[in-house]
Amino acid sequence: MAINFTDHNGALIQFVRVYLIFWGSAWASNPPPSPTTAQVTDAVNRILSGGYLTGLSQYRGVGQGYILGSTTINSSNPPNGFTDTNVSNLIQGLISAGTIPNLDADNQTLYLVFMPKGINASNSGFVGEHTYYTDASNRRVHFGWITNNGTLSSISIITSHEIAEAMTDPEGTAILGDAGTCSGPGWCEIGDVCQATTGTVNGASVQSYWSQKDKACKVFDYPAQTFPFVGTQFTGTVGANSSHRWFTFNWPAWQQVSWTVMPTTTDAANPQLTWSVAVQRASGAFVTYWITVTNTTNVPVNFEGRYEVLGRWT
């Protein structure tokens, strides 16, 4: 049966705040383990800030994210054969103790727990997973866990898979494969059908994920662009001594954009236009710019609304 994914309109994580938890004394050992917590953190940062997640914009505008923080827990160790409940109990205990931040107001936080080398899940067929639990305030806490075979590339690939899936289907109610798309158990998600293809994006090893618009497994990256580049987005007219506001939407949030206004009506005597810019993140992936142009003269003024794309966000 052909692979096909459908949006079931459930919760998404539009712009993820990832909190990293390195569980077990092995992470704090001397000499440090390989890979180190710093190396894993760097890989996750590369996954989040590089172009890997840009392909998720096709799924209701899901975007990218950033690392909210990290902590190493060496006061306890995960049991070999750990369960989701072991992990959720750890996270909730850390939140209750104030060791890690509680959910953000928009519930865009994803807690990722990294296991020491050689510690496996109760179901040894799984090397990583994401799911959620419901806390005492009836909020859904999104989390994942990643096993460790001692190589950074493996940890990075598993992490990329779990982040992409957690953002597009944090609760098993959003972007899901139609019946027959997946052969395994559990939620059928965009990484599950693409485990055979990996790549490198922004210096991090990643796994491909399903692109419904391409009907294929793809490793996404930023488009090839040379910065800065400029253009005219719109033209308009502002009446005498008045202000008017324009908006322009679906700008990639990862682009840094500056706006200027240029009169095309001439006036040899006076300044003509001022402008201000307001910004709206309409989704994780896309920004809307609102440009208010004020005409300070006694006659209508025609103008160009110009953009300057300065570069990427990081």
Partner 1 sequence: MRTGIQFRGTVPANQTHRWFTFNWNPSLHVIWTVVPDSINTSVPEISWSVAVQRFSATAVTYWISITNSTNANVDIEARYAIFP
**Site residues (CB under 8 A) for partner 1?**
14-15, 66, 104-106, 227-228, 247, 253, 256-258, 276-284, 287-288, 290, 310-314
| CB 247, min distance to partner 1, A | 8
Of 16 and 193, CB closest to partner 1: 16
Residue pointed to by tokens 């994580």: 13
Q: Are 84 and 131 within 8 A, CB to CB? A: yes
Q: By C-alpha distance, which of 166, 195, 222 is closest to 49?
A: 222
Q: What share of the chain is helix, strand, coil (3-state, %, to 5)?
A: 15, 40, 45
**Count of beta carbons in the 10 Å neighbourhood of residue 225:** 11
Q: Which two three-digit tokens encode residue 265?
A: 């009506």
Nearest-angstrom CA–CA distance, 218 and 119: 30
Residue 39 CB, nearest approach to partner 1 (Å) = 21
Q: How far is the CB of 104 from partner 1 (least distance, A)?
A: 8
Give the span between the Cα atoms of 121 and 192, in whole angstroms. Answer: 18
Counts for the chain of helices (H) and strands (E), in that order: 3, 17
CA angle 202, 197, 57 (to 5 degrees): 60
Task: Extract the tokens encoding 170.
Answer: 């944090």
Beta-sheet pairing, 175-177 with 140-146? unpaired
Token representation of residue 114 = 């990294």
- Residue whose CB is less far from partner 1, 156 or 283: 283
Residue closer to partner 1 by CB (options 117, 281) is 281
Give whichever of 106 and 267 is closer to partner 1, judged by the CB atom: 106
Shortest distance (Å) from residue 41 CB to partner 1: 16
Nearer to partner 1, 133 or 275 (CB): 275
Nearer to partner 1 (CB atom), residue 38 or residue 279: 279
Find the shortest distance in angstroms from Cβ 269 to partner 1: 28
Closest approach of Cβ 109 to partner 1, in Å? 12
Cβ closest to partner 1, residue 264 vs residue 276: 276
For the bound state, the minimum distance from the C-beta of residue 311 to partner 1, rounded and expressed in Å, comes to: 4
Question: Distance (Å, rounded) from C-alpha 200 to C-alpha 121?
Answer: 27
